[in-house]
Amino acid sequence: MNAVKTEPADRTLLFNRILYSGFVLLSIYFVIRGSLGDAASNLGIALIFDPFAPVQWPQRKGWQKAWLLVHVVLVMALFVRWLFLKA
């Protein structure tokens, strides 16, 4: 009799995508509300939860790299707008 051990399904990618989407939606809410500091921080936190498969940077697809770089630029733009151009 052979005992076959089954591994539980890895749900980290789904978990990361849900949290990433939640923080992005929360930052959009804060932008609409006019709280750019909160929007920048939540958008930055969203980057912690990488929505793509966990691979090294050189192995990522081009559109994934572009998406993440645009995301970082948006975080920096919101932060600079909030920090230096308070009105």
pLDDT over threshold 90, residue 55: no
Residue 3 domain flag: no
Residue 4 domain flag: no
Residue 61 domain flag: yes
Q: 72: Cβ–Cβ under 8 A, 6 or more apart, which residues?
A: 47
pLDDT over threshold 70, residue 49: yes
- Name the more confident of 47 and 55: 47
Token digits for 54? Answer: 């966990």
* Separation of alpha carbons 23 and 39, rounded Å: 9
Residue 66 domain flag: yes
Residue 7 domain flag: no
pTM: 0.81
Q: What is the pLDDT of residue 63?
A: 93
Residue 35 domain flag: yes
If you average pLDDT over residues 8-12, what whole number do you get? 74
Token digits for 65? Answer: 């790299």
Q: What percent of the chain has pLDDT over 70?
A: 94
Domain that holds residue 63: 12-84
Check: CB of residue 78 under 8 Å from CB of residue 41.
Answer: no
Number of structural domains the chain divides into: 1
Token digits for 59? Answer: 């192995």
* Separation of alpha carbons 42 and 75, rounded Å: 9
Residue 6 domain flag: no
Q: What is the pLDDT of residue 87?
A: 54
Residue 16 domain flag: yes
